[in-house]
Amino acid sequence: MSELTLQRWAREFRSQAKADNLAGMRDHLRRLGLRARPEMLLEGTIQVVIACSAYLGIDGQSDGPFLEMQTYDPARSRGARYACTLEISDKAFARVLVARNWRGLDFADLYGHPWDRYRVCGFRQFWITRADSAPLKRRELAELERHVTHDLRFDYSEDELDFWFNDSCTAGALLVTVQDHVDEQEE
């Protein structure tokens, strides 16, 4: 996608958020039990979607279907199965909508991504929820854990990265915490 298309998408996304007085962002944060300003989720989402679009381009893939899925209102997103909410820092969160195949969202790429705007690299943790707000089923949780593990281990070995899953801290969501591996001898 061209930079012009990304700018148009971001302008429309902000316009829909403004028209809704950020209620959708506020509700999403509340469902996850996050105490953050909805503006942080709005702007973080735009930053992460732009980064995902760039990584798709680097991989020689079109970002058109991914970008079309990134609607302000998840109920209006065709094909969105999951909402992934990343905590980039104490300054930003991002909500990315993905289909069942997860095309367009690469956790390993985003973990190493420099967020100049926030002066941090990567993310701390993320929540996976259903885009339709239904609770995750046991089978889904197992599939999600396999997907995340495969994604992160494709780029990072056990000597480089630690991560763990928690499906009991936020109702209906899977929380994934990620950090650089610290060797016990280094502690």
Q: How many domains does the chain have?
A: 1
* pTM of the complete model: 0.94
What average pLDDT does this structure show over 5-26?
A: 96
Residues 70-107 pLDDT 10s: 999 999 999 999 999 999 988 899 999 999 999 999 99
Contacts of 27 (CB under 8 A, 6+ apart): none
Model confidence at 187: pLDDT above 70:
no
Q: Which of 22, 55, 19 is nearest to 38 (CA)?
A: 22
pLDDT at 4: 81
Residue-range definition of the domain harbouring residue 87: 3-186
Mean pLDDT estimate for the chain = 94
What are the beta bridge partners of residue 21?
A: none
Q: Do the Cβ atoms of 111 and 156 come closer than 8 Å? A: yes
CA angle, residues 36, 136, 39, in degrees to nearest 5: 20
